[in-house]
Structure 1
Amino acid sequence: MLDDRDRKLLGLLQEDADQSVTVLAEKISLSLSACSRRIQRLEEAGYIARRIAVLDRDRIGVPTTVFALIKTTQHSDEWIDGFRRIIRDIPEIVEVHRLTGNYDYILKIVLPRVEHYDVIYKQIVRKTELFDVSASISMEVLKSGGAFPVDYAV
Structure 2
Amino acid sequence: MRIMETVDTIDRRILTELQRDCDISLDALGARVNLSRNACWRRIKALEAAGVIRARVALLDPAKLGLGLAVFIQVRTDSHDPEWLTKFAQATRAMPEILGAYRMTGDLDYLIQARVADVRDYDRLYQRLIARVPISDVSASFVMEEIKATTQLPL
- With the length of structure 1 as denominator, give the TM-score of the two structures: 0.94
Offset at residue 146 of structure 1 (A): 3.7
| Structure 1 residue runs without a partner (length 5+) | none
Q: How does 1:57-136 map to 2 (within 5 A)?
A: 57-136=62-141
User: Root-mean-square deviation (CA), in Å?
Assistant: 0.9
Q: Secondary structure at the match of 2:13?
A: helix
> How many percent of aligned residue pairs carry the same amino acid?
37
| Structure 2 residue runs without a partner (length 5+) | 1-5
Partner Cα distance (2:132, 2:22) in 1: 38
Offset at residue 68 of structure 1 (A): 0.6
Q: Secondary structure at the match of 1:123?
A: helix
Q: Which has the higher contact order (CA 8 A, sep 6+)?
A: 1
Q: Secondary structure at the match of 2:14?
A: helix
1:6 equivalent among 4, 7, 11: 11
Partner Cα distance (2:12, 2:28) in 1: 16
**Contact residue 66 and residue 114 of structure 1 kept, 8 A:** no
Q: Secondary structure at the match of 1:126?
A: helix
Give the aligned partner of residue 35 of structure 1.
40
After superposing on structure 2, the runs of 4+ consecutive aligned residues of structure 1 that deviate more than 2 Å are: none
Partner Cα distance (1:86, 1:47) in 2: 27
Deviations 1:42-79 (A, max 9, x none): 11111101101111111211010111100001111111
Q: Secondary structure at the match of 1:91?
A: coil
- With the length of structure 2 as denominator, give the TM-score of the two structures: 0.93
Partner Cα distance (2:131, 2:7) in 1: 48
Deviations 1:67-116 (A, max 9, x none): 11000011111110011111111111111111011110011110111221
Offset at residue 32 of structure 1 (A): 1.2
Count of residues in Structure 1 that have an aligned counterpart in Structure 2: 150
Offset at residue 131 of structure 1 (A): 1.0
1:145 equivalent among 141, 144, 150: 150
Partner Cα distance (2:89, 2:151) in 1: 25
Offset at residue 33 of structure 1 (A): 0.9
